[in-house]
Amino acid sequence: MDGARKRAQGWWADGWPCLPFLAAGLVGTQPAALFQPDSTRPLGPPAYALVVVAALALAGRSRPGMVLTINGAAVAAYLAAGYPFGPILLTVPAAMYYVAAAWPVGRAVAVVAADFGVLVVALYAKTLAEDGIGSVNVFAWGAIALAALASGITVRLRREAAAGLRTEQARRMASEERLRMAQDLHDTIGHGLAAIAMQAGVALHMLDRDVTEARHALEAVRATSREGLDSLRAGLERLRGDQPARRGPVPDRPGLDLLDELADRVRTAGVELDVDLQPDLHLARPVEEAVFRIVREALTNVLRHAGAVPARVVVRRDGDDLLVEVTDTGARAEAGPGPAAPGGLGIRGMRAQAERLGGKMEAGPLPGGGFAVRALLPMEAGT
């Protein structure tokens, strides 16, 4: 039943444009004949049959070659038989338009030219005895055929351009999504591995001195490993296009409510971390996500490059902007006298988070030692 309904809907979608031409042919042919008393042959059932065939041929517009062939044969037979000019001629540019809108330009021009040539022969067969009007009709209908051809070609080119634009947009969106997923995996897994490395180092350092502290560090390694595996599994499921349930320490929509959990995990790794979060901040969700991701990546860099050193996170208003600042006092071997190199994926990711909201981000060594990440985000971004 559903298949029959879909076929009927397809037939209707293709066939309904022929109805106005059919109605015009059946209703308007006789009045048009009244103004042509010199027509060589009066109207009759065969004439109306050709009118119906010429109009109904337009119902197969999904097969423009068939439409043009049937329509051209019906109209040529009508003219060659000597019937008076009428609404049947309106179907000709419509059939030509279908071909021009569906086929490549060269092929469409060749087929339309052949159809027009057949109609010209039929037209001269009809007007052979009507001196003075045959050439006028040829030129007039030649202009009409060219207009139909040009209209169809224009529509086809625009349709192809729109399809190409949609394809390019889809390709760009897919590329951006892949980059976003890669950045998410880098941030979540990178943070977990950096914390694990720090916690394992603490465990090794304390193993011979304080077994209890070493045990706590190893338990933290185990918990962080599990969280990292859950995050990796969730990321891979998203890459495969699955719809995973929420799991792992970092949800799909992180926010300020998770900063405390993030800070505890960093402290467990041995970093003396101070978090200065201004209370009663009412931020749009995209801004909250950007704040969390920037802070997480900055703290990950502290774990990777500075080790167990004091660090500070500041999130507060700064005029019309939101200040996000992460500083530490550790020395980085790779830190030179200038700003941080922009080539790292983490720094590029933080900068992209800020710039996506219309903000800016700077990262580099501090004059007195240490490193700072500073971002300014518009407070109203994403609203």
What is the bridge-based pairing of β-strands 321-328 and 371-378? antiparallel
- Average pLDDT score over the chain: 79
Q: Which residue has the higher pLDDT, 173 or 315?
A: 315
Helix (H) or strand (E) holding 374: strand 371-378
What is the bridge-based pairing of β-strands 321-328 and 273-277? unpaired
Q: Is the pLDDT of residue 299 over 80?
A: yes
Query: Are the beta carbons of 313 and 274 closer than 8 angstroms?
Result: yes
What is the bridge-based pairing of β-strands 311-318 and 273-277? parallel
Cβ-Cβ contacts under 8 Å for 130 (sequence gap 6 or more) = 38
Q: Which residue has the higher pLDDT, 305 or 101?
A: 101
Average pLDDT over residues 308-333: 85
Average pLDDT over residues 370-380: 89
The values of phi and psi at residue 43, to 5°, are -70, 150
Q: What is the pLDDT of residues 220-259, one digit of tens each?
A: 666 667 666 676 676 667 666 654 444 444 444 677 888 8
Q: What is the pLDDT of residues 147-179, one digit of tens each?
A: 998 999 999 889 888 888 888 887 887 776 676
Which pLDDT band, with edges at 50, 70 and 90, does 138 fall under?
confident
Average pLDDT over residues 286-302: 87
Q: Which residue has the higher pLDDT, 238 or 96?
A: 96
Q: Which residue has the higher pLDDT, 275 or 224?
A: 275
Which pLDDT band, with edges at 50, 70 and 90, does 199 fall under?
low
Q: Is the pLDDT of residue 364 over 80?
A: yes
Torsion of CA 182, 183, 189, 194, to 10 degrees: 140
Which pLDDT band, with edges at 50, 70 and 90, does 137 fall under?
low
278/280 Cα distance (integer angstroms): 7
Instruction: Give the Å distances, CA to CA, from 293 to 188, 217, 245, 297, 347.
Output: 9, 25, 21, 6, 11
Task: Specify the residue for token string 């518009």.
Answer: 378
Please tell me the least confidently modeled range out of 30-44, 73-87, 104-118, 122-136. 122-136
- Burial (CB count <10 Å: 0-12, 13-18, 19+), residue 302: buried
Q: Is the pTM of this model over 0.85?
A: no
Average pLDDT over residues 271-299: 88
Q: Which domains does the chain have, with CATH numbers?
A: 10-131 (no CATH), 271-383 (3.30.565.10)
**Tokens representing 19?**
């109805």
Please tell me the least confidently modeled range out of 76-80, 338-342, 363-367. 338-342
**Tokens representing 87?**
């609404």
Q: Which residue has the higher pLDDT, 92 or 215?
A: 92
Q: Is 142 helix (H, G, I), strand (E, B) or coil?
A: helix
Q: Is 364 helix (H, G, I), strand (E, B) or coil?
A: strand
